[in-house]
Homo-oligomer: A and B are copies of this chain.
């Protein structure tokens, strides 16, 4: 009764997307020829090529991803591997936006592969490599000796890291120069007469923890300032933990007169702790903080800030992975972004 599609796609095929077979039928060519014509293969006549491409555009042909993937193993997917409970908020969306921005111009899709606190960070990586679910991977929370990077290198999976490793292995990365950040922060505080400084560091274990610590220490000795230990908390701790810890240290006799903070949210907690102790920002103590969006100056104009652009990081990481997939040398896809200068609040123009 039902005489829908008489031949195997091509002629009638009332519904469904066009395939190579459809194009082959329409142009009167073979499927093989169409396939090659679409990718500008040299052994296809110039006119045929143009004709095929024209028809393809006309009817809106899009290669079937599953077909390509099954045949070639290429997935046209980049995976962003994220810790679902530790990553700081704005951080993540900015990176995603940056990555998306780059991938939008390509056939690549972005998949987000999460892992939670309870899991081994290696698990998602192993999954991606073993199942071949992505052509490239972006990871963050990079460690000096990062088993994920080593594993992917061993298994030939292109990737890029947010932050450097320190294993003598070469791979693409994007990193913010936290050494310089910490140095500039200390110098600035010193120039304001602050010489007893505390550092709210990144979580120990991550590569940029070391960079930050070293920069902090180097600048301390350079300007002749001293450190007030504040290493029982890091920016991975909760707002409450940082706040109470700050209040404690500010109530001590030998309290810091300056803070360097590696994250904006943590800075809110530091300031709250300072004020809990009855002290005043700008008078008793100054704070230099990194931030990823311009909100800290709204919070307290006395804060000193350094901006880190995560959206840039995202697009950079995406470009690096694509570059590696495309055959570029991984060593040529490394970027260390310079720290912008420490900024004080400048009041809005029209008041």
Query: Taking beta carbons and an 8 Å cutoff, which residues of A are in contact with B?
Result: 17, 60, 62, 64-67, 69-70, 75, 77, 82, 84-85, 87, 89-94, 96-97, 100-101, 104, 109-114, 116, 130-133, 239-240, 243-244, 247, 265, 268-269, 271-272, 276, 293-295, 298-299, 348, 350-351
Contacts and interface: CB of A to CB of B under 8 A. Distances in A.
Contacts of A94: 89
Contact of A348 (B60, B104, B240, B295): B240
A100 B112 contact: yes
A351 B114 contact: no
Can you tell how many copies of this chain the complex includes?
A: 2
A273 to B, nearest CB: 10
Contacts of A268: 295, 298-299
A351 B60 CA distance: 66
B276 A298 contact: no
A128 to B, nearest CB: 10
A208 B69 CA distance: 41
Contact of A92 (B65, B96, B114): B96
B114 A111 contact: no
Contacts of A96: 82, 92-93, 96, 112
13 contacts: A65-B131, A65-B133, A67-B70, A91-B93, A92-B93, A93-B93, A100-B112, A109-B133, A111-B112, A239-B294, A239-B295, A247-B351, A272-B298
Nearest to A94: B89
A124 to B, nearest CB: 10
Given A92-B93, A93-B92, A114-B101, A131 B17 contact: yes
Contacts of A294: 239
Contacts of A66: 66, 69-70, 75
